[in-house]
Amino acid sequence: MNPSDLPGAPFLAYRDQQLFIEQLRLQDLAQQHGTPLFVYSKAGMLHALSAYQRAFAGRKAKVHYAMKANSSLGVLQVFAKAACGFDIVSAGELARVLAAGGQAKDVIFSGVGKTRAEMQLALQAGIACFNVESEAELDVLNEVALSLGKVAPVSIRVNPNVDPKTHPYISTGLKGNKFGIAHERTLQAYRHAASLPGLKVTGIDCHIGSQITTSEPYLDALDKVLDLVEQIESAGIPIHHLDFGGGLGINYNGDTPPAADALWATLLARLDARGFGDRQLMIEPGRSLVGNAGVCLSQVQFLKPGEQKNFCIIDAAMNDLPRPAMYEAYHQIVPLTLSDAATQVYDVVGPVCESGDWIGRDRALNVQASDTLAVLSAGAYCMSMASNYNTRGRPAEVLVDGNKAHVIRTRETVADQMRGECLV
Ligand code: LLP
């Protein structure tokens, strides 16, 4: 393994055969805090953010962290302190932003199924914008705003019918997806929005999918959105901000997405060429800000050799790391101590009672029971999608900053899980 190819490098690196995150040895963290354990590098997150900030230097632009990727308060706090806004998809996420020190005025609210109660809470808090995903939602938001004597700032999420060439479950900008308003109907929807007294049109919005590893789908979507802005503005409706969503991929297993600054240099050149370079820009990256900054440490319980397969049974499972089971996603699994000893091929699986509970298939590992392994690129869509299936408590989380480890979430107990339940 070339050290600079390790997803998470340079904040994750082997020194003297031992895996370190920033200045701390992961084996020490596993011993102190137990496993399964999520460990995040603060510098890794800020480094990922800085690529966007470099790209937007001198521009009117704001990064809204798509917090569904990892909504732990300690993670949100890092981005709030770094002057990010937040892209939310529920009232629960809004409450987390406020609890982490973020401000409602820096929040945009996406999602196809906002409830009236959620709209009310967001209007009362004074969020920056609702990204509206259907014509029916425009009418309901208008009613809710009028009932509160408020005007809701809106942008309409356009579905540009562009193929992001990613896993079907995380493609969102194709005609058959439930997201956004078809670009053929967009002008009509804007005319309707502009006629409603409880709404103020402020922008336009587009998000085509996740784990996108080439620039072309972004360029196609950008051109389609700009064509629409020209049509909408010709109809007398000014569009103040352009929101291009998130979606930039990360390296899981030799993936080579463009760097955020390189992608945006290309997109900004196209915006400039079309005369939109001085508009207020917004983006909603999630995975690319946190994915490679995190690992999940897990201890080997048993090795179970078999006729067809050898199994390496670890103490993390599909409830902690749902991406392989849900999307057949690949996460690298590496030892905390490198050695030259011979490897064997294993399916790395969890203790949950499902055959879908696998974390990695056909992995060559030199491993013994009670060793600890690191599942890489686990900063995004792991803890935030974790569940209590099999009454398993969700892992603890540690945020590393240089040589300091801050526990940002304690391990969930059985009592935590049973709180709120009662016998008949
Ligand atoms: N904006 C909107 C409206 C979104 O729906 C999403 C992600 C984002 C921004 C952030 O996208 P990102 O930059 O993280 O790609 N659980 C899946 C990914 C689901 C993405 C959902 N929407 C996974 O683990 O791959």
Same domain as 273, residue 140: yes
User: Which tens digits make up the pLDDT trace of 255-270?
Assistant: 999 999 999 999 999 9
Average pLDDT, whole number, for the chain? 96
Q: Is 382 a catalytic residue?
A: no
pTM: 0.97
Distance 40 CA to ligand 1 centre (A): 19
Comparing C-alpha atoms, which of 135, 89, 140, 128 is closest to residue 111? 89
Same domain as 263, residue 311: no
Same domain as 336, residue 375: yes
Of 63, 67, 171, 210, best ligand 1 pocket probe by most atoms within 8 Å of the beta carbon: 210
pLDDT value, residue 178:
83
Residue 56 lies in a domain: no
| Choice among 84, 296, 353, 382 that is catalytic | 353
Nearest atom, ligand 1, residue 385 CA: 16
Q: Domain boundary residue among 267, 285, 303?
A: 285
The residue whose CA is least distant from atom 23 of ligand 1 is 381
Q: Are 55 and 303 in contact (CB under 8 A)?
A: no
CATH number at residue 358: 2.40.37.10
Residue 27's SS3 state is helix
Nearest atom, ligand 1, residue 205 CA: 3
pLDDT value, residue 216:
95
Range of the structural domain that residue 245 is part of: 110-285
Residue 21 lies in a domain: yes
Residues contacting ligand 1 via CB (< 6 Å): 66, 69, 87, 110, 170, 172, 207, 210-211, 245-248, 284-288, 323, 327, 381
Distance 54 CA to ligand 1 centre (A): 22
pLDDT value, residue 138:
98
Same domain as 277, residue 148: yes
The residue whose CA is least distant from atom 16 of ligand 1 is 381
Same domain as 222, residue 128: yes
CATH number at residue 213: 3.20.20.10
Average pLDDT of the segment spanning 45-67: 98
Same domain as 354, residue 264: no
Same domain as 217, residue 261: yes
pLDDT band of residue 4 (cuts 50, 70, 90) is confident
Return the half-sphere exposure (C-beta side, CA atoms, 13 A cut-off) of residue 74. Answer: 19
Amino acid, res. 18: Q
Provide CB contacts within 8 A for 177, sequence distance 6+.
159, 171
Same domain as 330, residue 312: yes
- φ/ψ of 82, rounded to 5, equals -90, 15
Query: What is the DSSP pairing of strand 333-335 with strand 372-375?
Result: antiparallel
